[in-house]
Amino acid sequence: MAEYRAYTVADDGHFDGFEPLICDNDDDALAKARGLLDGKDIELWSGERLVIRLTAHKSPPLFTHEIKDGGMMPKK
């Protein structure tokens, strides 16, 4: 058994929490880390070794255009 940590990554790129994991191998740890994805990226570490960075599927903005000067313009 090996010790892992699944760190949640804030929007500014810093870690803002972690979940300790005890797993048989990287594959088991990866499966557990995927289950923790909830709108934030996760970095899975085993000691000083980065195993993988998982990217959260973020929802696209609800409104992509706005009315400006009488016309429809993409939001910036």
Total domains, the chain: 1
Mean pLDDT of the chain: 90
Residue 63 lies in a domain: no
Q: Tokens at residue 36, please?
A: 């923790």
45: CB partners within 8 A, 6+ apart: 4, 5, 6, 7, 51
- Position 28 in a domain: yes
Confidence label for 50 from pLDDT (cuts 50, 70 and 90)? very high
Question: What is the span of the domain harbouring residue 29?
Answer: 2-57
Owner of token pair 């810093």: 14
Q: Which residue type, as a one-letter code, is found at position 38? A: D
Q: Does residue 31 sit within a domain?
A: yes
Percentage of residues in the chain with pLDDT exceeding 70?
89
pLDDT at 49: 96
Q: Give a yes or no: residue 75 inside a domain.
A: no
In this predicted structure, what is the pLDDT of residue 19? 97
The contacts of residue 50 (CB under 8 Å, 6+ apart) are 43, 44
Condensed to tens digits (0 to 9), the pLDDT of residues 2-17 reads 999 999 999 899 999 9
Average pLDDT estimate for 26-50? 95
